[in-house]
Structure 1
Amino acid sequence: MRRFFLSVFCAAAWSIASTASSPAADMEAAKKKAELCATCHGENGISQTENVPSLAGQPDQFIQWQLVFFRSGSRKSEQMQSIVEQLDNQDIRNLGAYFASLTPPKATKDDNPDLSKKGAQAANGRRCANCHTDSFAGKGAVARIAGQREEYLLKALHDYKSGARSGGGMAAMADVAYPLSEEEITALAHYLAHL
């Protein structure tokens, strides 16, 4: 019992120490940097551009990791490459905190509830909530997929299925996406976009 309390105390102390030594996000600097992002990802991180995801409300760590993957070249995007090359680690921390603080996009009215029902079944069958949480809001380094642009979700699922997308979560997402039928991909994207 004593060993248990000692390990809990050490873990808590390490957590506090690592948080204290990590530089805090500079929200003003992030807001200024995010002006570059608004061209494609929209004002306040809500995309109006086809196949470009909304960033508002994405988990802080998820944003940070994706920027690191783009910067390292392990995740490919011509549009992102020239932008992320200009970012240092503090910029990445700032942008993660900034986009996480924004209100996520509101889901649009569901024009096909039958398709959403099939999507909910597919999400349950593929255990999407295990990583993306019950509300599909994401957590930690896992993306928020609720309310995301439908055509972007389609693209992402196709990219994971084909192996075209790399970066964090690749193994888990490839495992989930590879066996999906085209009908399931369409239903999932529709369901999640309208949550």
Structure 2
Amino acid sequence: MRKQLIWSAVSSLALASILLATPLARAADAAAGKEKAAMCVACHGENGISQIENIPSLAGQPDQFIQWQLVFFRAGTRKNEQMQPIVEQLNNEDIRNLGAYFSSLTPPKGQKDDDPDLSEKGKQAAAGRRCASCHTDTYAGTKAVARIAGQREEYLVKALHDYKSSTRSGGAMAAMADVAYPLSEEEIAALAHYLAHL
């Protein structure tokens, strides 16, 4: 696991140096991003709000977060069979435009909470794990850190399991593995429920 964390950190630094060394040809174009996002709708939903189990909503995600995840998928650092053929078609300008587009969309709203007791346990777990220190007090994310408020509940469970098992790599792997590894199944379920209903 330690080697995987070190490799993830080295990969992230290498990708960062490539991105920083590449001059921006022009400012990101959200309208062009919307056109390019037509290929994302089938899975991630109209206006970036997913209706499919285990597929995340992208609406309202921070611009840099979207860009980094696409770069990680394209580089193969983050793996997903459905995403791979799509990201292979994207150039850097497409990635910047998609980041601008998805970040401009209204994020999903949490559904009516059907289990306030579970949410309270999740709230306590979030405070105990200091989730707000990276994801912000409203869990809306910032810069390269994901928005988790209002995200699909089962997707949050999946993401926490992937971090806990070191299945997910690319960006924040070390920090999230440290947070997720000690979580019990009950804490994962409570956290996901709480965040999804914000």
TM-score over 0.5 for the alignment? yes
Q: Which residue of 1 aligns with 2:137?
A: 134
RMSD: 1.3
User: What is the rounded CA distance, in whole Å, between the counterparts of 2:31 and 2:172 in structure 1?
Assistant: 30
1:5 alignment partner in structure 2: none
What is aligned with 1:94? 97
Match of 1:177, as an amino acid? Answer: A
Larger Rg: 1
Q: How do 1:163-174 residues align onto structure 2 when only pairs under 5 Å count?
A: 163-174=166-177
Letter in 2 for 1:131: C
1: CA distance between counterparts of 2:155 and 2:24?
Answer: 37
1:117 aligns with 2:120: yes
Higher relative contact order (CA 8 A, sep 6+): 2
2:9 is aligned to none
Which residue in the other structure is 1:13 paired with? none
Gaps of 5+ in 2: 1-20
Deviation at 1:27?
A: 2.0
Which residue pairs with 2:14 in the alignment? none
CA distance in 2 between partners of 1:58 and 1:168 (Å): 15
Q: Does 1:30 align with 2:27?
A: no
Gaps of 5+ in 1: 1-17
Measured after TM superposition, the shift of residue 30 of structure 1 is 0.8
Residue 78 of structure 1 aligns to a residue whose secondary structure is coil
Aligned to 1:14: none
Residue 22 of structure 1: how far off its partner (Å) = 5.8
Displacement of 1:28: 2.1
Shift in Å at residue 21 of structure 1? 5.6
Give the secondary-structure state (helix, strand or coil) at the position aligned to 2:169: coil
**Number of aligned pairs?**
177
Equivalence for 2:190: 187
TM-score calculated relative to the size of structure 2: 0.87
